[in-house]
Amino acid sequence: MKEFKHIPVMLDEVIDGLDIKENGIYVDCTIGGGGHSSFILKRLTAGHLYGFDRDEDAISTCKERFKGEDKLTLIHANYKDAPNILNERNVNEIDGFLIDLGVSSYQIDNAERGFSILHDGRLDMRMDRSQKLDAYYVVNNYPKERLLDILYRYGEENNARKIVDNILLSRRNKPIETTGELKEIIEESFPKKVIYGKGGVSKKTFQAIRIEVNQELDGIDDLLLKLIKMLKSGGRGAVLTFHSLEDRIVKNVFKKEASDCICPPKIPVCICGHKRSIKLINKKPITASERELSENPRSSSAKLRIIEKI
Ligand SMILES: C[S@@+](CC[C@H](N)C(=O)[O-])C[C@H]1O[C@@H](n2cnc3c(N)ncnc32)[C@H](O)[C@@H]1O
């Protein structure tokens, strides 16, 4: 396995935002290389941290990194299953949670994992390599309408029609095998003068296929509701998102859970009986500082939202 390189995004903001109690129970739903978790662990004396990741490479990296650390339990699982897994271990109340959504730099930069626009590798994009569906299957087998839907919905790609036409034309001759081949097909779908920058015009299509392969938007809302339920009064939750589709889901769940009434605006008297269970620590999402932006360009699209259980 290659070295697991990933710089934790908005590290100070996340750790301060979680307001960690030294004997608290914490859950990192996306432990990755353990960047954020290492700082949570530093603040714990008698507490415990449960770290989840669906990528076996992340779990083995953290096993090595935190060897002998008895305040940490690592669990290879989809975070959708985290609340159940915790309940099965008699962990029903927690003091805080972190969800750092999306992919790690290790996954994106490693050609072998088949996510990369810049490093050619077999189309794969699975975070959990025990799963069957991969990017090769999506690109080479999905029908036209389904590909179009994915590119519009998950990539917000205006040029989806041309890109999908070119994918279909190309795969008629031979399967599209690598990220490099896909990148070329995408670039051929744009006028020469539009093709610019790092990642350039392929970014949105790659993002869309990645989201489809990993079903990345699936279950975020349900997970948030379950984790909020498990939070003790005064407990904190922090969520980092990297594109508007994710952020919209998080924003809406938090907005609803922080509201005393969720009736449609036209109803004159409240009939929903909804009671707020959290308060928003920051009304607007926190973004990376100028310094972080200059040191880690991947922080540029990050948004951090923090809540506290009432
Ligand atoms: C941005 S990285 C986290 C980096 C980590 N905070 C750090 O500082 O090293 C996101 C991680 O979430 C994992 N992940 C994404 N979706 C997941 C899911 N549904 N269940 C569990 N892990 C997931 C990815 O495999 C990846 O390792």
- Say what the pLDDT of residue 200 is: 87
- Say what the pLDDT of residue 305 is: 98
- Residue 207 maps to which CATH number? 1.10.150.170
Asked if residue 232 and residue 98 are part of one domain, the reply reads yes
- Whether 2 is in a domain gets the answer no
Asked if residue 53 and residue 68 are part of one domain, the reply reads yes
Q: Is the C-beta atom of 35 inside 6 A of ligand 1?
A: yes
- Say what the pLDDT of residue 265 is: 83
Asked if residue 85 and residue 228 are part of one domain, the reply reads yes
- Domain boundary residue, one of 214, 248, 275: 214
Q: Ligand 1: distance of its center to the CA of 127 in Å?
A: 9
pLDDT string in tens for the chain (310-residue length): 678 888 999 999 999 999 999 999 999 999 999 999 999 999 999 999 999 999 999 999 999 999 999 999 999 999 999 999 999 999 999 999 999 999 999 999 999 999 999 999 999 999 999 999 999 999 999 999 999 999 999 999 999 999 999 999 999 999 999 999 999 999 999 988 777 655 589 999 999 999 999 999 999 999 999 999 999 999 999 999 999 999 999 999 999 999 998 898 888 889 989 999 999 999 999 999 999 999 999 999 999 999 999 9
CA angle, residues 287, 293, 294, in degrees to nearest 5: 165
Asked if residue 224 and residue 91 are part of one domain, the reply reads yes
User: Taking a C-beta distance cutoff of 8 angstroms, is the pair 23, 43 a contact?
Assistant: no
Asked if residue 178 and residue 303 are part of one domain, the reply reads no
Asked if residue 292 and residue 144 are part of one domain, the reply reads no
What atom of ligand 1 comes closest to residue 33's alpha carbon?
9
Q: Ligand 1: distance of its center to the CA of 103 in Å?
A: 6
Q: Specify the pTM.
A: 0.96
Asked if residue 114 and residue 97 are part of one domain, the reply reads no
User: Taking a C-beta distance cutoff of 8 angstroms, is the pair 4, 106 a contact?
Assistant: yes
Q: Is the C-beta atom of 296 inside 6 A of ligand 1?
A: no
- Say what the pLDDT of residue 181 is: 98
- Whether 209 is in a domain gets the answer yes
Q: Is the C-beta atom of 104 inside 6 A of ligand 1?
A: yes
- Whether 1 is in a domain gets the answer no
- Residue 305 maps to which CATH number? 3.40.50.150
- Say what the pLDDT of residue 197 is: 57
- Whether 94 is in a domain gets the answer yes
- Whether 4 is in a domain gets the answer no
Asked if residue 204 and residue 73 are part of one domain, the reply reads no
- Domain boundary residue, one of 214, 242, 264: 214
The closest of 48, 49, 35, 24 to 14, measured between CA atoms, is 35
The residue whose CA is least distant from atom 27 of ligand 1 is: 32
Q: Is the C-beta atom of 78 inside 6 A of ligand 1?
A: yes
User: Taking a C-beta distance cutoff of 8 angstroms, is the pair 11, 2 a contact?
Assistant: no
What is the extent of the structural domain holding 193? 107-214
Asked if residue 205 and residue 115 are part of one domain, the reply reads yes
Q: Which of 15, 37, 53 to mutate to test ligand 1, by most ligand atoms within 8 A of the CB atom?
A: 53
What atom of ligand 1 comes closest to residue 242's alpha carbon?
1
DSSP 93-149: -EEEEEEE-S--HHHHH-GGGT--SSS--BS---SSTTSS--HHHHHHHS-HHHHHH
- Whether 3 is in a domain gets the answer no
Q: Is the C-beta atom of 30 inside 6 A of ligand 1?
A: yes
- Domain boundary residue, one of 186, 214, 242: 214
What atom of ligand 1 comes closest to residue 78's alpha carbon?
20
- Whether 276 is in a domain gets the answer yes
The residue whose CA is least distant from atom 1 of ligand 1 is: 104
Q: Ligand 1: distance of its center to the CA of 33 in Å?
A: 9
Asked if residue 282 and residue 223 are part of one domain, the reply reads yes
Q: Is the C-beta atom of 211 inside 6 A of ligand 1?
A: no
- Say what the pLDDT of residue 97 is: 98
- Say what the pLDDT of residue 6 is: 84
- Say what the pLDDT of residue 266 is: 84
- Whether 237 is in a domain gets the answer yes
- Say what the pLDDT of residue 196 is: 65
Asked if residue 128 and residue 159 are part of one domain, the reply reads yes
Number of domains into which the chain is organized: 2
Asked if residue 137 and residue 52 are part of one domain, the reply reads no
- Say what the pLDDT of residue 169 is: 98
